């Protein structure tokens, strides 16, 4: 009987994914709380033919250089891949893959959750109920901002941006978007060629672009100032798209009515000032966190890894 291929996995996966892995591979399982320096990752990957990683690990040039030569593929259990140095991977002859499509609906759902929570002040309302300070129904009590008829500006009209657009239209919002180029199937949303022009027309602004050197700090003091007074900012993409100093200042000054965030620069160590800002609704990076979606992501990561180990083209390659 031939030995099973060896697979290193940095974080625990949903049960069906782990069952599949353990049936077909010799699995070297990491753990959810481990910090992965290049040396720790290399140690886990000793003898492995492929590794499954997440955005929580920095797979930079040093980490790639430290990997044993047995590793042929890095399958990321995520759609985002800014945590992997693709040039270094390519130079080493490694294949790299991600998990697009399968998380589109779950992530778009969380964007809508944040839009509704931020505009209807759900976080502050929930805190009030827990603190037992609610004084009862009054006509002027705790008014939010209605989204019906409001303009939603989407930055990045990829799969998730489009899914958010369709959901928002069902809530009666008018959707505008900025993208490198217009999208053929844009659900009737209006393309805006310049980001600054989109910002000026966005009652609610939702970020759905990848994090790149060009998009880092896309929302900063200058760009936030272009939003209408009382706008709402939503981020389910990547934390460093937003400058925390500028966002916190805009929330405190009332320039923004509210924000809803699922992702943060430096997460999980978020800027502690957010905890004291009443008009920000905070979630712990759960955009794709449903049983169904995380299982589908894990399965797709395994499909990619398996394809490479069997000499086939991976279904969703990046490199
Ligand atoms: C991704 O897939 O990139 C998400 O941020 C985590 O699910």
Cβ partners under 8 Å of residue 144, min gap 6: 119, 120, 121
Residue 82 has a pLDDT of 96
Catalytic (active site) residue 267: yes
Distance 263 CA to ligand 1 centre (A): 10
Active site annotation includes 83? no
144 neighbors 120 (Cβ within 8 angstroms)? yes
Tens digit of each residue's pLDDT (9 = 90 or more) over 69-122: 999 999 999 999 999 999 999 999 999 999 999 999 999 999 999 999 999 999
* pLDDT for res 138: 97
- Write the residue with the smallest CA distance to atom 3 of ligand 1: 80
Nearest Cα residue to atom 6 of ligand 1:
78
**H/E element, 44:** helix 38-44
CA distance 120 to 142: 9
Residue whose CB lies within 8 A of the most ligand 1 atoms, among 11, 75, 80, 289, for a mutation test: 80
Atom of ligand 1 nearest to the CA of 98: 2
Closest of 286, 293, 244 to residue 114, by C-alpha: 286
Work out the angle between the directed axes of helices 159-170 and 104-119 (0-180°, nearest 10).
50
pLDDT of residue 160: 98
pLDDT score recorded for residue 1: 54
Q: How does pLDDT run across 23-79, given as a tens digit for each residue?
A: 999 999 999 999 999 999 999 999 999 999 999 999 999 999 999 999 999 999 999
pLDDT score recorded for residue 261: 99
Average pLDDT on 124-148 reads: 98
- Return left, alpha or beta for 80; rule: phi > 0 is left, psi -120 to 50 is alpha, else beta: beta
Regarding pTM above 0.85, the answer is yes
Second-level CATH architecture of 104-282 = 3-Layer(aba) Sandwich (3.40)
Find out whether the beta carbon of 79 lies less than 6 Å from any atom of ligand 1.
yes
Q: Kindly give the distance from the C-alpha atom of residue 309 to the centroid of ligand 1, in angstroms, as a whole number.
A: 24
Q: Where are the domains of the chain?
A: 6-102+291-309, 104-282
From residue 6, give the alpha-carbon distance in Å to each of 67, 103, 169, 232, 306.
14, 27, 47, 47, 11
108: helix, strand or coil: helix
Is residue 292 flagged as an active site residue? no
Provide the pLDDT for residue 130: 98
Model confidence at 2, pLDDT cuts 50, 70, 90, reads low
Task: Convert the pLDDT of each residue in 183-203 to its tens digit.
Answer: 999 999 999 999 999 999 999
In this chain, the answer to whether the domains covering 6-102+291-309 and 104-282 adopt an identical fold is yes
pLDDT tens figures, 216-241: 999 999 999 999 999 999 999 999 99
Regarding the domain with residue range 6-102+291-309, which homologous superfamily does it belong to in the CATH classification? NAD(P)-binding Rossmann-like Domain (3.40.50.720)
Per residue in 253-282, pLDDT (tens digit) is 999 999 999 999 999 999 999 999 999 999
């Amino acid at each position: 009987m031939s030995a099973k291929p060896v697979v290193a996995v940095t974080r625990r996966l949903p049960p069906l994914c782990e069952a599949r892995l353990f049936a077909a591979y010799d699995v070297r399982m990491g753990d959810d709380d481990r910090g992965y320096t290049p040396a720790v990752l290399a140690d886990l990957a000793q003898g492995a033919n492929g590794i499954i990683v997440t955005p929580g690990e920095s797979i930079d040039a040093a980490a790639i250089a430290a990997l044993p030569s047995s590793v042929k593929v890095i399958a990321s259990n995520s759609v985002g891949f800014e945590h992997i140095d693709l040039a270094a991977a390519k130079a080493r002859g490694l294949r790299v893959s991600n998990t697009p499509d399968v998380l589109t609906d779950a992530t778009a759902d969380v964007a809508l959750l944040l839009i509704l929570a931020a505009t209807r002040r759900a976080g502050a309302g929930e805190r009030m109920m827990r603190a037992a300070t609610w004084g009862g129904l009054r006509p002027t009590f705790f008014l939010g901002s209605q989204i019906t008829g409001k303009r939603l500006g989407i930055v990045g009209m990829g799969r998730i941006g489009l899914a958010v657009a369709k959901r928002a239209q069902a809530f009666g919002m008018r959707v505008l978007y900025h993208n490198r180029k217009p999208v053929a199937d844009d659900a009737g949303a209006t393309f805006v060629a310049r980001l600054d022009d989109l910002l000026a027309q966005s009652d609610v602004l939702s970020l759905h672009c990848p994090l790149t050197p060009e998009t880092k700090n896309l929302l900063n003091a200058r760009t936030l100032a272009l939003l209408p007074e009382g706008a709402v900012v939503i981020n389910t993409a990547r934390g460093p798209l937003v400058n925390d100093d500028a966002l916190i200042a805009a929330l405190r000054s009332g320039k923004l009515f509210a924000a809803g965030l699922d992702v943060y620069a430096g997460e999980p160590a978020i800027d502690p000032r957010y905890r004291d800002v009443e008009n920000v609704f905070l979630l712990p990076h759960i955009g794709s966190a449903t049983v169904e979606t995380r299982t589908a992501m894990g399965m797709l990561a395994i499909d990619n890894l398996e394809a490479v180990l069997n000499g086939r083209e991976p279904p969703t390659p990046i490199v």
